[in-house]
Amino acid sequence: MSILIKNGWIITQNENRDVMRGDIYVEDGKIVEVGNVNVEAEHKINAENMIVMPGLINTHTHVAMTDMRGIADDVDLEDFLAIMWKEEAKRNREDIYHGAKLGIEEMLRTGTTSFVDMYSDEDIIAKAVKESGIRGFLGWAVVDKEITTQEGNPIKNAEKFIRKFQNDKFVTPFIAPHAIYTCNEETLLKSKEIAEKYGTMITMHVSETRKEVYDHRKKFGLRPVEWLEKIGFLSDKLLGAHMVWLTLHEIKILSKRGVKVSHNPTSNMKLGHGGSMPLIEMLQNNVLVTLGTDSAVSNNNLDMFEEMKFAALLHKNERWDASVTNAQMILDFATINAANALNLNAGSIEEGKLADIVIVDATEPNARPLRKDNIVSNIVYSISGLNVKYTIVNGKIVFERKG
Amino acid sequence: MSILIKNGWIITQNENRDVMRGDIYVEDGKIVEVGNVNVEAEHKINAENMIVMPGLINTHTHVAMTDMRGIADDVDLEDFLAIMWKEEAKRNREDIYHGAKLGIEEMLRTGTTSFVDMYSDEDIIAKAVKESGIRGFLGWAVVDKEITTQEGNPIKNAEKFIRKFQNDKFVTPFIAPHAIYTCNEETLLKSKEIAEKYGTMITMHVSETRKEVYDHRKKFGLRPVEWLEKIGFLSDKLLGAHMVWLTLHEIKILSKRGVKVSHNPTSNMKLGHGGSMPLIEMLQNNVLVTLGTDSAVSNNNLDMFEEMKFAALLHKNERWDASVTNAQMILDFATINAANALNLNAGSIEEGKLADIVIVDATEPNARPLRKDNIVSNIVYSISGLNVKYTIVNGKIVFERKG
């Protein structure tokens, strides 16, 4: 399949972060040419009044929970988890499939082309992924076998899942130890072993709440990241979600080990975690930061455009300083940084990259006026996911908004 | 004109905050019947998969600045105002008109049916309001005559504007002294006199930044609200915007005087004001709180759905407590509280109220699943202004989203 996108405002996210008017030619899943292109194509999109940008990458969610939207508002994480574990116990694989379908539909309609998930039964979620055309980096959730509700051994289930999907085009299987308060040293190190054995990644909740940090310190005498370092768990294959309650010493450890971070500002704010992820110190220490919505129960949507705005504004507010974040920095989190973190050949509009592209309707008033110098600002600070007109994954139009 | 809205999920915002499935019959600008209605109507809307709710009321913006979106990001208020005043000096009445047109279009398309504005040349903005069908509560901006860029005396200009529009159906003229750092005691008291003379309201920026508070205290020995109380400026005719930096003592003064508050969380966060408006203490002291986006330069959109989410999450984050806000409280700010603050017979779906109604497409994934018990949560935490399918003001469909 080939697509020619004509005359759009292209947000390249290339090394120079060029913004240009021009065309994009896509063939066989890849971006073949960017610039002034005149060729025949099966599909032609007139992007005259549109913004053409890399697909957004959501690096932390639990997509199957989307059908539970609104069941646990206005409570802190402890109460939240108590509600969730009770509700989830009632769910079967059919429910998980339908939840995932809804969440994936929401993501595609709001410009997300890849997502990182954490849940059990990821094989069912993989089915939903493959039916939709989105890219899923699916982390099979692992907790200690003493507390699991999974049939069999979670580590073995995860390994089986990874083995099954290790060569899949749209599903990249990860292993996902849930957190330090649900996984002991043995579970964590076995998870790491599996990830190494299959050359894949680990994703995990890390230092999300004060309670997590203080409980752990009380028990082990070390803060979570210090302890994870001590047991030899940290590596550049780890994508840690939340990472709210960290010391500078822990940030330096993350930096040394090349750990990647999924920042989840909306979920953190909604759950009232307090503090804020130390974004500025992470950037000063060259930690690779990406962005995730978390689930529709703690957000409550999967709109990465909105997530970008929350990320930018949270830190301005936290530091009493409007200059600590800017639109370009935040757009990087959601595109090129995430692609780098996942080792995905995407995240920018460049020749040879995977054709994961989002086209945004800029005729809607919230995108106007549109100029080269305010276009990235409009994307981060003004536009909604519902401005998305086309979502293209791997060179295929997987969503087109009518009207 | 008559409209019959059939089978919607109705968010009544009545005294009991009832949510019900049913019909609404609208005639001659008013809501005539709510419940199970079977009559003929000129327009019939099948709201089977839609949410029907009171139109949102944006109580603080500068709508004519919408065409300057993105020109002053990532700077604090001082630098922001320096940029704005320089840019605004270049603008003529034509620019103001076009800015207002764009902003009003954005508001109608995102479910806002009334807005409070502050700017000069409100007569031009009034023209844009009347052409669009939205309701405008337009505050003619006043500063000391020594620093004004208006032709003639700002107070006299404001009075002339108020006189011209005092009996208008869609434009309610206000007077809008800009702030304590641009208006001296004489200017403020004259503004109050004008408001009293014409039985209208005053809107003003109050205690937006720490600098404002500390500069004022240095000069006058009193914090802004204490000083405004001392000079006899405060009354229930004042709608104060921002109100970020207040002591409990000042909140008690606001309460005693019946001052209304426009909370502008997104703008406050984006400008990095720090702290947060003391919402919880205001509510504890029965201060009437409403919600406003501020301008598209400091927000950067005019989407009241997004504003509601920022309002809810900001305070959870600030207080490290997810329970301090909830969706119903925040929806009240944007509907019934605002109508009460403006003495507008709207803000709820009840017989006899003005037919200012928003109908939201609930087939979009971000509104699903939809149940009686999560519908208000979805409105505040998940839905975007671009979910809006119809906006009805005064019984007339002023916007319909195609597709």
Chain A, nearest residue to B98 by Cα = A369
Whether A242 and A147 share a structural domain: yes
Contacts of A369 in chain B (CB under 8 A): 67, 69-70, 102
Backbone dihedral angles phi then psi of residue B147, each to the nearest 5 degrees: -115, 0
- A102–chain B Cβ distance below 8 A for any pair: yes
Whether A127 and A239 share a structural domain: yes
Length of chain B: 403
| CATH number reported for the structural domain that contains residue A391 in this entry | 2.30.40.10
- A191–chain B Cβ distance below 8 A for any pair: no
Of B313, B324, B371, the CB nearest to A266: B313
- Residue A306, judged by CB atoms within 10 A of its CB (0-12, 13-18, 19+), counts as buried
Residue A163's contacts (CB-CB under 8 Å, 6 or more residues apart) are: A198
Assess whether pLDDT exceeds 90 at residue B189: yes
Which SS3 state, helix, strand or coil, does residue A151 take? coil
- Give me the DSSP letters along A293-362: ---TTSSS---HHHHHHHHHHHHHHHHT-GGG--HHHHHHIIIIIHHHHHT-S-SS--TTSB--EEEEE-
- The model's pLDDT over A314-336, given as tens digits with 9 standing for 90+, comes to 999 999 999 999 999 999 999 99
Q: Do B270 and A381 touch (CB under 8 A)?
A: yes
Q: What angle do CA A210, A214, A219 make, to 5 degrees?
A: 150
Assess whether pLDDT exceeds 90 at residue B288: yes
Contacts of A386 in chain B (CB under 8 A): 364, 366, 384, 386-387
Q: What is the pairing mode between strands A171-177 and A135-142?
A: parallel
pLDDT computed for residue B275 by the predictor: 85
Q: Do A269 and B364 touch (CB under 8 A)?
A: no
A377 vs A342: CA distance, rounded Å: 25
Task: Give me the amino acid identity at B146.
Answer: E
Contacts of B66 in chain A (CB under 8 A): 365
A304, A319, A342 - which closes a domain: A342
Contacts of B317 in chain A (CB under 8 A): 268-269, 272-274, 276, 314
Neighbours of A125 (CB within 10 A): 28
Whether A164 and A295 share a structural domain: yes
- B200–chain A Cβ distance below 8 A for any pair: no
| CATH number reported for the structural domain that contains residue B76 in this entry | 3.20.20.140
- B313–chain A Cβ distance below 8 A for any pair: yes
pLDDT computed for residue A85 by the predictor: 87
**β-strand partners of B46:** B6
Of B110, B310, B369, the CB nearest to A67: B369
A322, A342, A362 - which closes a domain: A342
| Distance from the Cα of residue A178 to its chain's centroid | 16
Chain B closest CA to A222's CA: distance in Å? 23
Whether B50 and B65 share a structural domain: no
Using alpha carbons, select from A365, A102, A154 the residue that is nearest to residue B368. A102
Chain A, nearest residue to B384 by Cα = A384
The pLDDT of B112-140, averaged and rounded, is: 98
Using alpha carbons, select from A191, A4, A201, A43 the residue that is nearest to residue A116. A201
Whether A193 and A301 share a structural domain: yes
Contacts of A366 in chain B (CB under 8 A): 106, 110, 301-303, 385-386
User: Token digits for A103?
Assistant: 């969440």
Whether A42 and A136 share a structural domain: no
B293, B321, B342 - which closes a domain: B342
A301 neighbors A273 (Cβ within 8 angstroms): no
Chain A closest CA to B292's CA: distance in Å? 15
Mutation site, B74, B263, B361, interface A, largest A CB count within 10 A: B74
Contacts of B313 in chain A (CB under 8 A): 266, 269-270, 310
Contacts of A378 in chain B (CB under 8 A): 69-70, 300
On average, the pLDDT of chain B sits at 97
The share of chain B scoring above pLDDT 90, in percent, equals 96
Of A67, A323, A403, the CB nearest to B401: A403
Chain B residues 261-290 with CB within 8 Å of chain A: 266, 268-276
Chain A, nearest residue to B329 by Cα = A74
Q: Do B319 and A272 touch (CB under 8 A)?
A: yes
Q: Do B73 and A327 touch (CB under 8 A)?
A: yes
Q: pTM of the full predicted structure?
A: 0.98
Length of chain A: 403
Chain B residues 47-76 with CB within 8 Å of chain A: 66-67, 69-71, 73-76
pLDDT computed for residue B50 by the predictor: 98
Whether B265 and B394 share a structural domain: no
Residue A328's contacts (CB-CB under 8 Å, 6 or more residues apart) are: A17, A376
Chain B residues 377-396 with CB within 8 Å of chain A: 377-378, 381-387
Whether A220 and A357 share a structural domain: no
pLDDT computed for residue A78 by the predictor: 87
Of B71, B314, B377, the CB nearest to A70: B377
Q: Do A303 and B369 touch (CB under 8 A)?
A: no
Whether B354 and B216 share a structural domain: no
- The model's pLDDT over B215-229, given as tens digits with 9 standing for 90+, comes to 999 999 999 999 999
Whether B312 and B235 share a structural domain: yes
Q: Which domain holds residue A165?
A: 56-342
The pLDDT of B314-329, averaged and rounded, is: 97
Whether A314 and A386 share a structural domain: no
Of B103, B272, B302, the CB nearest to A317: B272
Using alpha carbons, select from B208, B204, B212, B223 the residue that is nearest to residue B275. B208
**β-strand partners of B117:** B61, B138
How far from each other are the two terminal CA atoms of chain B, in whole angstroms? 24
Sequence-separated contacts (24+) of A168-172 with Cβ below 8 Å? A168/A126, A168/A130, A169/A394, A170/A129, A170/A130, A170/A133, A170/A134, A170/A135, A170/A136, A170/A394, A171/A126, A171/A129, A171/A130, A171/A135, A171/A136, A171/A138, A172/A135, A172/A136, A172/A137, A172/A138, A172/A200, A172/A342
Chain A, nearest residue to B389 by Cα = A403
Backbone dihedral angles phi then psi of residue B242, each to the nearest 5 degrees: 75, -75
- A319–chain B Cβ distance below 8 A for any pair: yes
Whether B332 and B379 share a structural domain: no
User: Position of tokens 């996984």?
Assistant: A183
**Confidence label for B274 from pLDDT (cuts 50, 70 and 90):** confident
Chain A residues 1-20 with CB within 8 Å of chain B: none
- B372–chain A Cβ distance below 8 A for any pair: no
For B300, half-sphere exposure in the C-beta direction (CA atoms, 13 angstrom radius) is 31
Count up the domains in chain A and report the number: 2
**Residue A194 is inside which H or E element, if any?**
helix A185-198
Q: pLDDT tens, position by position, for chain A (403 residues)? A: 899 999 999 999 999 999 999 999 999 999 999 999 999 999 999 999 999 999 999 999 999 999 999 999 999 888 998 998 899 999 999 999 999 999 999 999 999 999 999 999 999 999 999 999 999 999 999 999 999 989 999 999 999 999 999 999 999 999 999 999 999 999 999 999 999 999 999 999 999 999 999 999 999 999 999 999 999 999 999 999 999 999 999 999 999 999 999 999 999 999 999 889 999 999 999 999 999 999 999 999 999 999 999 999 999 999 999 999 999 999 999 999 999 999 999 999 999 999 999 999 999 999 999 999 999 999 999 999 999 999 999 999 999 999 7
A77 neighbors A271 (Cβ within 8 angstroms): yes
A365 vs A367: CA distance, rounded Å: 5
- B237–chain A Cβ distance below 8 A for any pair: no
Chain A closest CA to B74's CA: distance in Å? 5
Chain A residues 139-168 with CB within 8 Å of chain B: none
Which SS3 state, helix, strand or coil, does residue B251 take? helix
